Amino acid sequence: MSAGAAPAVDGALPRPATKRRAPRRTSTATLILYALAVGAGLGLSSAYLLVRRDFPIGGVRAGPWVAWPRVGSREADPYARAIVARRGEVPLGVGEGLAFTAATDSAGQPLTATCEYRIGSVTPPARYWTLTLYDQTGRPALGDLGRAGFTSGEIMREADGRFAITLARDPAPGNWLRQPAAGPVRLVLRLYDTPVAAGSAALDAASLPAIERGVCAP
Amino acid sequence: MSESARFVLATLCGLVIAGMVHLSAVLAMPWLSENDAFSRLAGTLSADRAQIVAAPATGETWLPQPDPNLAISACAYNLADGPVRIATRTGRLFQSLSFHARGAGVFYAVTDRAAIRGSLDLVVMTRRQLDEILAREDEEDPSRDVRIVAPSSEGFAVVRVLATTPSQRQEAEEVARSVACTIDPLPGAPRR
């Protein structure tokens, strides 16, 4: 009895089991939809994440400063073009000048409004330069005094042509820039009409102003 | 094919599609963006004067991280209507002029060092318009225009004027405001 029933059970059970499993097998249409969803999701999100950040390719670093000379030329890469379009930026052409951005001090610590900094004392060769402090919204930190930076024409220099800028919340003698109340800050040094942009002048940390951190508010 | 192999294959296809979507999204962004400089300047396409984009005195501008010492004016152009002449007078203030193609970035830039007798005067045109002008030009009396070939027919010109001290800001803004962008008709019969 038991010997006769066993084959019957063995023979009967697997067949309904495979029949039942067949509809559970993922259909080709579902897999295609899945592949399309993965493609659209990953593709769009990775593109979005990349263009929200700084230019990924072609950065020239010198100490805390970084510049992207190719963004202002015909050789700008597609990411740079996409980022420029997204920000609504009008980049400086290589024939016009070059902008250096610093988000950290010379030691690599992020620039913040609660610290005091000393910036100096040389700039690369250029006909004119401007140095501007930006608050966390990307606007010039004009404050109540209406001053967010210095130009080569108005800065006070030592007898040897060197200069020092003090970045602090409280007034300081000499070239003083007032820090905004809070948040991370950025410095942009723009060189106008400079051989540096075309790559014909050497760039190293010593040819750009150093950013030294002083006292920090607790 | 086993269930897991099909799943892996579908995931690999998804990754390949992701790569293509990523590339096309990045390449299309300059053309689809509604906040880019060309879209914002589209209203100046038919204007004869450049529009002030940033004024150092007021500080109001849509440019991200603007240099507060610069007066910036710009005008958009469409070369389908003919070559465009950009003329600005130069003085004691630093001035630079750059040409940007829509979606392709800067294709030409000069400073006031290139000015002749106190004015910067450049004509931007397509390759075809240049060929046409050269074909019709009098060889005995060649034009002295500075001609620039644009990579595409749409774009904009930007003039930057630097005020190194606050007292120069008014003057810088006036210089930027006086930039002229006019359509330079082709010699002979009009094309359109």
Q: What does the pLDDT look like over A125-138, one tens digit per residue? A: 899 999 999 998 88
Which of A54, A90, A133, A175 to mutate: most B Cβ within 10 Å?
Answer: A90
Q: Which residues of A78-105 are buried (b: 16+ CB within 10 A; e: fewer)?
A: ebbbbbbbbbbbbbbbbbbbbbbbbebb
B44-93 residue pLDDT tens:
888 888 888 888 877 778 888 889 999 999 999 999 888 999 999 888 89
Is residue A102's pLDDT more than 50?
yes
pLDDT band per the 50, 70, 90 thresholds, residue A24: low
| A179 neighbors A188 (Cβ within 8 angstroms) | no
Closest A-chain CA to B21: A43
In whole angstroms, give the CA distance from residue A58 to residue B27: 18
Helix (H) or strand (E) run with residue B109 in it: strand B105-111
- How far the first Cα of chain A sits from its last, in Å, is 89
pLDDT band per the 50, 70, 90 thresholds, residue A209: very high
Helix (H) or strand (E) run with residue B26 in it: helix B3-32
Q: Name the token pair of B63.
A: 């440019």
B24-36 residue pLDDT tens:
999 998 888 888 8
Q: Which of B92, B137, B133, B134 is nearest to B115 (CA)?
A: B92
Mode of pairing for the β-strands spanning B119-125 and B146-149: parallel
Q: Name the token pair of B104.
A: 């392709």
Helices B3-32, A78-87: inter-axial angle, 10-degree rounding = 60
> What pLDDT score was predicted for residue A22?
52
> What pLDDT score was predicted for residue B187?
66
Local structure of residue B55 (DSSP, 8 states): -
> What pLDDT score was predicted for residue B60?
79
Q: Name the token pair of A188.
A: 């942009």
Is residue B116's pLDDT more than 50?
yes
> What pLDDT score was predicted for residue B158?
93
Which of B13, B29, B102 to mutate: most A Cβ within 10 Å?
Answer: B29
pLDDT, mean over chain A: 84
Which region among A126-140, B108-122, B132-146, B149-163 has the lowest average model confidence (pLDDT)?
B132-146
ipTM: 0.86
**Of the partner residues A74, A94, A188, the one whose CB lies closest to the CB of residue B65:** A188
> What pLDDT score was predicted for residue A4?
43
pLDDT band per the 50, 70, 90 thresholds, residue A216: confident
Single-letter code of the amino acid located at B82: G
pLDDT band per the 50, 70, 90 thresholds, residue B98: very high
- Please report how many Cα atoms fall inside a 13 Å half-sphere around the Cα of residue A148, on the Cβ side: 25
- Residue A41: how many CB atoms within 10 A of its CB? 14
Q: Which residues of B touch A80 (CB under 8 A)?
A: 105
Is residue B109's pLDDT more than 60?
yes
| A120 neighbors A189 (Cβ within 8 angstroms) | no
Find the angle CA(A53)-CA(A94)-CA(B147) to the nearest 5 degrees.
Answer: 125
> What pLDDT score was predicted for residue A120?
82
Mean pLDDT over A149-171 rounds to: 90
pLDDT band per the 50, 70, 90 thresholds, residue A6: very low
Q: Do B35 and A86 touch (CB under 8 A)?
A: yes
Q: Do A44 and B64 touch (CB under 8 A)?
A: no
pLDDT band per the 50, 70, 90 thresholds, residue A200: low
In whole angstroms, give the CA distance from residue A176 to residue A167: 6
More confident residue, A145 or A128: A128
> What pLDDT score was predicted for residue B156?
92
A156 by Cβ neighbours in 10 Å (0-12 / 13-18 / 19+) ranks as exposed
Q: Do A140 and B68 touch (CB under 8 A)?
A: yes
Is residue A52's pLDDT more than 90?
no
> What pLDDT score was predicted for residue B30?
87
pLDDT band per the 50, 70, 90 thresholds, residue A101: very high
In whole angstroms, give the CA distance from residue B58 to residue B66: 12
More confident residue, A46 or B184: A46
